[in-house]
């Protein structure tokens, strides 16, 4: 903000970075779940080893949770006064 960024830009930057990390985690989780689905199929009850609806629902819930978890720090970061942050107070 001291160099001209707006509060909205700061919030978008923080939420986008957290969203990127969350998306990488979801992609890795989907890959691992597909790789281990055959081995874990005996533990699943009422759900097929490749249930697209379950994978999509869980992925969306995790992405929404990651975005919600990033919103609070983003709002706090955008509310800081740049001059007091630079001074270190």
All structural domains of the chain with their residue ranges: 7-34+48-83
Give the sign of the dihedral formed by CA 37, CA 41, CA 45, CA 47: positive
Cα 67 from Cα 69, distance rounded (Å): 5
For the chain, what is the radius of gyration of the CA atoms? 19
Degrees, nearest 5: CA angle 51-54-60: 140
pLDDT tens for each residue of 28-75: 999 998 888 777 777 777 666 677 888 899 999 999 999 899 888 888
pTM to 2 decimal places: 0.71
Q: Are 71 and 14 in contact, with CB atoms under 8 Å apart? A: no
Q: What is the mean pLDDT of residues 3-18?
A: 83
């Amino acid at each position: 903000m001291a160099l001209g960024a707006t509060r909205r830009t700061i919030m978008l930057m923080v939420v986008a970075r957290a969203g990127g990390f969350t998306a990488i985690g979801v992609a890795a989780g989907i890959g691992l779940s597909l790789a281990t689905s055959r081995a874990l199929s005996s533990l699943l009850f009422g759900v097929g080893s490749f249930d697209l609806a379950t994978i999509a629902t869980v992925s969306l819930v995790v992405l929404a949770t990651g975005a919600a978890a990033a919103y609070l720090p983003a709002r706090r970061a955008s509310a800081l006064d740049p001059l007091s942050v630079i001074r270190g107070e």
